[in-house]
Every structure is written in C-alpha cells, then in structure tokens.
Chains A and B, each alone.
Chain A
Amino acid sequence: MRVLPFDYSVRNLGRSRMRLVLTVLASALVVLLVLTAASFVEGMAKSLVAKTEQSNVILLAAGSEESLERSQVPTSTSGVVAASLPGIKTRLGTPYVSPEIHAAILVKDQRNSPDEWQAVVRGFSPQAFLVHPRVHIVEGRMPEQGRDEIMVGGLAADMMRVPDSRLGVGKSLWFDNRSWTVVGRFAAPGSVLDCEIWVPLTDLQTAAKRDTVSCIVVTLDDAEVADVDAFTMQRFDLGLTAVGEGDYYSSIMAFYRPVHAMVWTTALLIGLTGLFGGLNTMYAAFAARARELGMLRSLGFSRTAIMLSLVQESLLTSAAGTLLGSVLGMMLLDGRAVRFSMGVFQLVVDYRVLLIGAAAGLLMGVLGALPPAWRSLRLPINEALKAA
C-alpha cells in the first residue's frame, strides 16, 4: 500500500491555526481532567495504604474497630502487651509498643479568638518514633512532657487551612483550655501522619481529662497479625481487638470507593463530552476537504492510506494536547493537598497517572478521527471531486 508522506499530515495541521489551537487546548483540558481523577485516587491510596507499615498492628478497644477516635484502652494495657505478647520487635531492649491517642479537635488561635480550625491530634510517647519510622523531625525539637509543647506535621497547615507560617516553630495554638507552643516540625512524607499535631501523651491525657489511650500500635518481628489476634482472645479481659495497620487503612479506603467511582464517572462523562465535541469538529473539518480527499484517491492513494494520514493528523493534535495537559498536570496537581475526613493527602502525578492521561488523550485522538474520516472517504471519487 502506498502511504501518504508524514509531512503531508504535519503541514495540513497549519491550515487552520485557530482550529488547531482550540483542538489542542480541548485535548489538554480532557487529559488534565483525567489526570486530576487519577491523581486523586492514587494520592489517597498512597497516603492510606501504600505508606502504612505492613508489620504494624493496631490494638483497639473491642467494639471500636471502625473508629480509632472512639476507642478507649486503659493506659496500663500497653505495659501488659509489651510484657506478654511474643514476637514484638525490640531495639536495645525497648519493645516497639506505642500507646497513642487519636483525636479530632477544634484548635483556636488564642483563648478568645473567634476563629476555630479542625485539627487531627495524636498523643504520643517516644516509642511512636519506633513504630512510625517515616516520621522525622525536620525543624526544632521533640516536645517535652509537662511543658505544653507540641510539634506539627508538614501538612497540618493545609488540614487547618491556615498559612504554613502560622504553625512555625515558636508560634502557639489554643486548645483544651491552654496555650501550646510549637517547638518542632516533623515530616512523614506521603502518609496521613503528615497532617497531624503531635502532643506528649500524658499532657494530652491531662488536658483532655482522660486516663485511657485510643490504641496501642505494635511492630511485629517474627509474629503475624493472627498471633496478635490469638493473644487478644486469650486475654479477652483486656478488651482488645487486633487490626493490621494496612487492613485498617484499606477499610477506610474501601469506605471512599463510592467517591472514587464518582470521580471517575465525572472524568469519563467530561471525556466523552470532549470526544463528541472533537468528533463534531472533525466531521466539519474533513467534510470541507472532500475535494482534496477525492483528488488523493484519483492519484491512486487507497482509502486506508488516506484514513491513516487523517488519523495521523488527529493523533498529532491530541498528542500535543496530551503533552500540554500532562505538563499542566505535573505543575498544577502534583503535591497539591486535599482535605478529607481522615486528614490531608497529596495528589500524586506519577508515571502510572501520566500513562492513564496519555492513553486517554491518544485514544480520543484515534476515536475522534475514525468516523469522520470514514464518512468523508465513502463518497465516490467523481462526487468527491465535484464537492463544494
């Protein structure tokens, strides 16, 4: 088969520059939208599931499996767990057992400030750094017990919707009827911990007038979740239930599945709108070139060769749009913080998301060109040559 030269397709693109620019922009917008949907789902999955410690097990109060905030475990239980549960990881004799309080509270600027911000607070002990190895202090120091000190995560400002400088070291916040000074900043990249405020466990217990913790997080060495499950059954008096950290966050992820489905459906519908708009433009564009296509056929080019050339044109336009959309996506979306009930996660534009965007853009280029091209090429040569 004799095919049309590639530069024929390229030169044809310059015939109507306005149409070219508009088509490229439309493709870019559709690709950007697909990237937004994909980066949303990917970002949430990465912060909830992929960045959890797979060897961590959360011990919650029995009956509170679905909500860490609702769970109440006596503080002394962490000592019993550390002493009785075999197979826990240790370092220099210190077991990886971290009693923690998880709470969503309202934080004020000052005592009488009318502004209130929703914040996720975690009461922690030094062992928290063992079981959450992703957490590291990037500025200042760790809060000291009994001095009303706190440290904040890298995305805490996004969670509270305040400027990042508002949570700088030396600044203070008001909650639980006292002022707390920020003495440190920490980072836990890509995990939900990054949006939290960390408070020494006993300080938070005193402030909140509670003698319980929300959960005990343990890191397993040679044990598995089933062993911990068996332990909670043998020590049913402790009133604990064991959930793998990955399983816990996966269940939260499953809770958000309808939201993901809605995001994808919206992206699909807008993508289809873009496709139909593109089809409309291409019908008009190819119909206007009926005489040219008839001439090519009279010169001996087959319908397939001409169709290939038309698809090439469309693909070039959509590829340019895909490229533009991908660059915009990387610049505008990657790393952008999104709030949700569990805290904050960052949109992720990685190679998988880019591949989804590219596939959507290029597929639109092919599907948008085939029906109009086929319709234009159906005309007999003599009719095509006489077309206006």
Chain B
Amino acid sequence: MKERKFVMNCTFDRIRSRMVIVLATVVSLALLPAPVVGGPTKLPPGLFVDAAPANAMGVGEARKTAQEGKPVVIRGRVGGVAKPIADKYAMFLMSDMALALCQDGCADLCHIPREQLLANLATVQVVDHTGRPLKADIQGMNGLRPLSEVIIQGVVAKVDKNVMIVNARSIFVNRAGK
C-alpha cells in the first residue's frame, strides 16, 4: 500500500514538474516581443536635424523655380488640409508661411482661396532606396505636428503646375514657434 502511494506521489511530482515547464515556456513565449511581419519601417537616422538649414525659400517661390531632380531647401508650415500628416506613411503637406492662419487654428487654411492655396502647397515625403514613400508614422516625431514650422532639405521628385513633391533628406522642426 505504502509502495503504491509512493509510486503515485512520484507520478504526480513528474506531472507537476512537466506542467511547470510547459507553463514557464508558454509564459516566456508570451513575454517575447511578437515578430514583426510587414510592420512599419523605421525612419532613417539623422532625418530630423537640430539646426535649421540655410538659404531656405518659401513654398510658393519654390513652386515657381524648382526643377525635378534638383536639390531644394524649403521653409513652410505643416498644413493645407484638415489632416496634413499621412497615416502610416512618412508624408505630409506643407504650405507657405505667407499664408495667414485661420482664426480657429485649423490646419486646412480654409479661408484661403483654393487657387492660391494650391499654388503654395508642397508634398514632403521620405522615401526608401527604391524611391517609394516609407511606410512609417511621422506624426509627433521630433515635435512634427499640424501647423509646425519646418525647413526641408531634399530633392524635387516632381513639380508641375499642379503639384510639387519633395523627397526629404533632412527635416528641421522649429519648436520655438508655430
């Protein structure tokens, strides 16, 4: 009888120790960071700079003089539409600093006539080595928010009478003023 009880106790101990191992494994696996499959890409290091690049021109002026493939430094304000910073893409719209802000502080500059607004807007995007826009959230990075004043150093990807797209190499966010 005692022998049987001893055998049963050993079996229970074995089962218990195995359960502890299984539980420990499950907990460890659960605590491990989940593998990222097709998740957001990181922004390139050094994208945000602390010093304002020199010789920046306004967006409106750049729209008139910029040429595709040429470097450009533009200064403006994140805005032009209600939600000027894209979701999940490192991309935003910027408008010329000369455009007056709305009294209610909206980013879409709704009081500016459409033609005037379009002539003073540019799309800023951060691209990967293939030239495609990076899938990465840029909102809030280094203080980048709607209506932030920014200076972009980059290359003109496209410019015509309708649009201007700049591939940013560096972004300076002026945290001192809006």
Chain A positions 200 through 238: 1 when the CB is less than 8 Å from some CB of chain B, otherwise 0? 000000000000000000000000111001100111110
Chain B positions within 8 Å of A, measured between CB atoms, are: 80-83, 86-89, 91-93, 108, 110, 114, 118, 121, 123, 125, 133, 135, 162-163, 165
Chain A positions within 8 Å of B, measured between CB atoms, are: 62-63, 65, 224-226, 229-230, 233-237, 239, 241
Given contacts A65-B82, A236-B81, contact A226 B114 (CB under 8 A): no
Give 13 new A-B contacts, CB below 8 A, not counting A230-B86, A233-B89, A235-B163.
A62-B108, A63-B81, A63-B82, A63-B110, A230-B133, A233-B86, A233-B92, A233-B93, A234-B91, A236-B118, A237-B118, A237-B163, A239-B114
B108 contacts A226, CB within 8 Å? no
Closest Cβ–Cβ distance, residue A61 to chain B (whole Å): 10
Contacting residues, chain A, for B93 (C-beta < 8 A): 233, 236
Smallest Cβ-Cβ distance to A235: which chain B residue: B163
Contacting residues, chain A, for B125 (C-beta < 8 A): 234
B108 contacts A63, CB within 8 Å? yes
Cα distance, A366 to B114, chains bound together (Å): 65
Contacting residues, chain B, for A241 (C-beta < 8 A): 81-83
Cα distance, A241 to B110, chains bound together (Å): 14
Can you give 24 contacting A-B residue pairs, CB < 8 Å? A62-B108, A63-B81, A63-B108, A225-B87, A226-B88, A229-B87, A229-B89, A230-B86, A230-B89, A230-B91, A233-B92, A233-B93, A233-B123, A234-B91, A234-B125, A234-B163, A235-B162, A236-B80, A236-B81, A236-B93, A236-B118, A236-B163, A237-B162, A241-B82
Contacting residues, chain A, for B110 (C-beta < 8 A): 63
Cα distance, A288 to B129, chains bound together (Å): 88
Give which listed residue, A63, A226, A236, A239, contacts B89 with CB less than 8 A: A226
Cα distance, A230 to B134, chains bound together (Å): 11
Given contacts A235-B163, A237-B162, contact A226 B80 (CB under 8 A): no
Smallest Cβ-Cβ distance to A226: which chain B residue: B88
Q: Chain B binding site: helix, strand, loop or mixed by DSSP?
A: loop
Closest Cβ–Cβ distance, residue B169 to chain A (whole Å): 18
Cα distance, A239 to B80, chains bound together (Å): 10
Closest Cβ–Cβ distance, residue B88 to chain A (whole Å): 4
Closest Cβ–Cβ distance, residue A12 to chain B (whole Å): 52
Closest Cβ–Cβ distance, residue B159 to chain A (whole Å): 12
A236 contacts B87, CB within 8 Å? no
Closest Cβ–Cβ distance, residue A248 to chain B (whole Å): 14
Contacting residues, chain B, for A236 (C-beta < 8 A): 80-81, 93, 118, 121, 123, 163
Cα distance, A208 to B83, chains bound together (Å): 31
Cα distance, A315 to B121, chains bound together (Å): 69
Closest Cβ–Cβ distance, residue B6 to chain A (whole Å): 41
Contacting residues, chain A, for B165 (C-beta < 8 A): 234
Cα distance, A105 to B139, chains bound together (Å): 41
